[in-house]
């Protein structure tokens, strides 16, 4: 079965201003990259409705963002400026994720990648922040439950920044397992090891706060020895990936050392888990990634994995330094999961 992709030049219409790292050129390089890709099904995005967006966001906040259509420039905070077309672009990004989810759930494609902007995982129910307006992955998870009747959804967030908005939306909800690997301490300051959820959702938030310098070997060990065992116990019916490529060694906003090969390995692990628990149903959603060449090459590597066209890979030659941190994760999460 084929792989679907959402990518539309209209995603360039969100203009945060000259010099902003979350710039329209991020989409331009992906449009160029996709022209060289074969065997993909192009999925046309649609704007998400107000009812769909308010599955996650407050109605008053939705209206606040909508009112920016009347302004050529407005800043929700120092990091999150918008232009007159930003609201419509953000609706199209969220709707693109939902359209791709529908295609997967209908069996028209096996999996897919929503190459959308602006990103979403920092957006809180009532607040824009960190370049994000609407939380695309969180909206996707709620849509899967509200419109497709699923009960267990995984959001795996490998962006270099912790997805505070996603965690806060689901931290009391066992219906969504949220797992995050991220540089720590770093923006936005959340994502400590002991943030495990609360109430009925206790144990369904897993944070792996990595120090700067971790790369392919460390991420690979974390996915194999911590993340995979937890996911298999949870048995998600759908896998969503908040796919930020800012842990790449070339990214200007962070200090990680992941390469294209590392992202391919992470995607391969998650696709194998989706095959075992979710009938292969998996959608990646673009988050960060601010070196244009790295963004292009990493997106292409993940698409190759989604299509099942990657060559078998050897283990990473570099020894992992993640052992002590992963032991700490196991101690904290051992109340909820088995190893």
Q: Which of 14, 57, 121, 122 is catalytic?
A: 122
Q: Measure the CA–CA gap between 261 and 308, rounded to whole angstroms.
A: 15
Q: How far is CA 137 from the centre of its chain?
A: 6
User: Long-range pairs for 75-81 at CB < 8 Å and ≥24 separation?
Assistant: 76/127, 76/128, 76/129, 76/133, 77/128, 77/129, 79/129, 79/130, 79/131, 80/16, 80/128, 80/129, 80/130, 80/131, 80/132, 80/133, 81/16, 81/17, 81/20
| The predicted structure's pLDDT at residue 317 | 72
Contacts of 319 (CB under 8 A, 6+ apart): 217
Active site residue 122: yes
Strands 176-183 and 205-210: parallel
Give the model confidence (pLDDT) of 94-147 as tens digits: 999 999 999 999 999 999 999 999 999 999 999 999 999 999 999 999 999 999
| The predicted structure's pLDDT at residue 311 | 73
Tell me the average pLDDT across 243-248: 98
Give the model confidence (pLDDT) of 299-308 as tens digits: 999 999 999 9
Phi, psi of 94 (to 5 degrees): -60, -40
- 315 has pLDDT over 90: no
Distances (CA, A) of 190 to 69, 166, 174, 253, 336: 31, 11, 20, 17, 21
Token readout for 338 is 């088995």
Return the half-sphere exposure (C-beta side, CA atoms, 13 A cut-off) of residue 109: 25
Q: Provide the pLDDT confidence category of residue 22 given band limits of 50, 70 and 90.
A: very high
Q: Measure the CA–CA gap between 68 and 76, rounded to whole angstroms.
A: 10
Q: Measure the CA–CA gap between 22 and 7, rounded to whole angstroms.
A: 16
What's the mean per-residue pLDDT of the chain? 97
Contacts of 124 (CB under 8 A, 6+ apart): 135, 164, 165, 168, 169
CB 98 within 8 A of CB 45: no
CB neighbour class for 294 (10 Å; exposed up to 12, middle 13-18, buried from 19): buried
| The predicted structure's pLDDT at residue 316 | 78
Report all structural domains of the chain as residue ranges with CATH numbers, in order of start.
3-333 (3.40.800.20)
Q: How much of the chain, in percent, has pLDDT values that exceed 70?
A: 99
Scan for tokens 């540089």, then name that residue: 183
């Amino acid at each position: 079965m084929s792989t679907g992709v959402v990518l539309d030049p209209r995603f360039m219409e969100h203009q945060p201003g000259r010099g902003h790292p979350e710039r329209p050129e991020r989409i331009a390089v992906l449009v160029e990259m996709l022209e060289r890709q074969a065997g993909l099904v192009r999925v046309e995005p649609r704007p998400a409705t107000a009812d769909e967006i308010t599955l996650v966001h407050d109605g008053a906040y939705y209206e606040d963002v909508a009112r920016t259509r009347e302004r050529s420039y407005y800043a929700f905070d120092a990091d999150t400026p918008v232009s007159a077309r930003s609201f419509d672009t953000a609706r199209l990004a969220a709707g693109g994720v939902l359209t791709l989810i529908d295609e997967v759930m209908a069996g028209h494609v096996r999996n897919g990648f929503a190459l959308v902007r602006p990103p979403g995982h920092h957006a809180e129910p009532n607040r824009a922040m960190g370049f994000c307006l609407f939380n695309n992955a969180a909206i996707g998870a709620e849509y899967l439950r509200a419109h497709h009747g699923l009960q267990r959804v995984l959001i795996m967030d490998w962006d270099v920044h912790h997805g505070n908005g996603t965690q806060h939306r689901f931290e009391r909800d066992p219906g969504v397992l949220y797992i995050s690997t991220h540089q720590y301490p770093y923006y936005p300051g959340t994502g400590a090891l002991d943030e495990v959820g609360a109430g009925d959702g206790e144990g369904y938030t897993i944070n792996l706060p990595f120090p700067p310098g971790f790369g392919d070997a460390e991420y690979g060990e974390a996915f194999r020895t911590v993340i995979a065992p937890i996911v298999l116990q949870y048995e998600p019916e759908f896998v969503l990936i908040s796919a930020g490529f800012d842990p790449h060694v070339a990214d200007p906003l962070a200090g990680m050392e992941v390469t294209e090969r590392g992202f391919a390995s992470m995607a391969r692990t998650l696709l194998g888990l989706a095959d075992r628990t979710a009938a292969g149903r998996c959608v990646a959603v673009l988050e960060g990634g601010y070196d244009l060449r790295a963004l292009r090459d990493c997106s292409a590597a993940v698409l190759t994995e989604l299509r099942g066209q990657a060559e078998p890979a050897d283990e990473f030659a570099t020894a992992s330094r993640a052992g002590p941190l992963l032991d700490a994760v196991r101690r904290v999460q051992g109340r909820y999961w088995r190893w």
